[in-house]
Amino acid sequence: MKKTVLTFGVISGVIISLFMLGTLPFHEQIGFDRGLVVGYTGMLVAFLLVYFGVRSYRDNVAGGTVKFGRAFVVGALIALISSAMYTATWEAIYFGGFMPDFAEKYQAHVIESARAAGASQQELDKKAAEQKQMWEMYQNPIINIGMTLIEPLPVGLVIALISAAVLSRKRPSGAMAAVA
């Protein structure tokens, strides 16, 4: 199981990290709202490896059958490795100074979106204070890692659940009798 999880997890992690690195130079042209769509699309593409990893485990390691629980564990571990690589990539970008004005631009985007939605000045001031507090917390690497990890991991776990449901197979009841 370890080889399958590592192989597919690393490949998925490379894809998700390359997707982030490939779109990062264009983040101003893409914009924050469309960036969410582009980012989560990249995550879905990378998390296809969860399905293929579970299938590979079932067919090549488990002899063609795998129970739902084991299939989910394999898929979840692949998603965890991929998500950890995504998080490590973001940490290197964020704390490495590659996007020194990201926080300010994101805060301005949030405030402008609220203004466009018709927020009052009091609501805008509250939103600005919330953003300031969030970005102060975000400077703590532990909080930064946690917040970044919860972006891709839930998507990966949903894909792991779906993959486990689709790919799990029980051993036919007569198979044990034939072996004995």
Structural domain includes residue 94: yes
- pLDDT in the model for residue 172: 60
Number of domains, the chain = 1
In terms of residue numbers, what domain contains 43? 2-171
- pLDDT in the model for residue 180: 39
Structural domain includes residue 179: no
Q: Tokens for 172, please give them.
A: 């036919």
User: pLDDT tens digit string along 147-170?
Assistant: 999 999 999 999 999 999 999 977
When pLDDT is cut at 50, 70 and 90, the band that residue 71 belongs to is very high
Structural domain includes residue 81: yes
The pTM of the full predicted model, rounded to 2 decimals, is 0.85
Please say if the pLDDT value at position 12 is more than 80: yes
Structural domain includes residue 13: yes
- pLDDT in the model for residue 91: 94
When pLDDT is cut at 50, 70 and 90, the band that residue 178 belongs to is very low
When pLDDT is cut at 50, 70 and 90, the band that residue 142 belongs to is very high
Structural domain includes residue 177: no
- pLDDT in the model for residue 28: 80
The mean pLDDT of the chain is: 90
Structural domain includes residue 66: yes
